[in-house]
């Protein structure tokens, strides 16, 4: 058995409000993880709030410009190296927290017809598609497009811009969709980044 423990003491801003930046809109897996952190960073010395952004690039810029105090990034993000290698950032904390249940969703009361359909998904859960489609389905008959987040994918289905979305159960509820197939949750690891003190810049 491998056990280790990390303590994290965030730097408290003068405003006494610690702002966590991560990927939005509401009901993304990152939003879900941020709420988990908010519940654990309880202190009489400060308050904690979350600010959601359209992309992780926007999250990075917000931390660089001191518009947020911390950035919450999942290790499934394919450009997380840009946070680790940013000279003015440091890793503050790392933890494991499962995502909400993932699956393939559609509008309620709409027939699931795959041939000629459009499926949208954030890049990270794209490999789940083969598990979520019927075994007999011809992938060449489906258009698959990438979206900025799981919530954006669900929103596109709600707006009629796509037929199906790989998304999570929080977004399914938020945008009044329904799952037609379910994969389950994903045991995800996450990093919290903060700015280095000026004298510690590499």
- The one-character DSSP state at 29 is H
Mean pLDDT of 61-85: 97
- Residue tagged 């698959």 (tokens): 144
d(CA 24, CA 106): 20
Mean pLDDT of 83-100: 96
Mean pLDDT of the chain: 93
pLDDT single digits (tens) 163-181? 999 999 999 999 999 999 9
Q: What is the pTM of this model?
A: 0.91
d(CA 1, CA 17): 38
């Amino acid at each position: 058995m491998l056990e280790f423990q990390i303590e994290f003491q965030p730097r408290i801003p003068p405003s006494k409000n610690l702002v966590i930046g991560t990927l939005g809109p509401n009901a993304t897996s990152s939003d879900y993880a941020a709420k988990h952190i908010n519940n654990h960073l309880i202190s009489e010395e400060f308050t904690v709030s979350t600010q959601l952004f359209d992309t992780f690039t926007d999250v990075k810029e917000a931390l660089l410009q001191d518009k947020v105090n911390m950035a919450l990034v999942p290790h499934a993000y394919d450009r997380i190296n840009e946070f680790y290698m940013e000279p003015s950032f440091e890793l503050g904390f790392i933890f494991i927290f499962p995502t909400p249940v993932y699956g393939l969703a559609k509008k309620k009361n709409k027939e699931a017809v795959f041939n000629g359909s459009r499926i949208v998904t954030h890049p990270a859960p794209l490999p789940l598609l083969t598990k979520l489609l019927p075994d007999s389905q011809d992938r060449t008959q489906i258009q698959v497009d990438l979206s900025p987040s799981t919530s954006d994918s669900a929103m596109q289905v709600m707006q009629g811009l796509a037929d199906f979305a790989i998304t999570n159960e929080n977004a399914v509820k938020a945008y009044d969709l329904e799952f037609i197939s379910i994969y389950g949750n994903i045991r995800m690891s996450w990093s919290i980044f903060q700015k280095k003190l000026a004298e510690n810049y590499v």
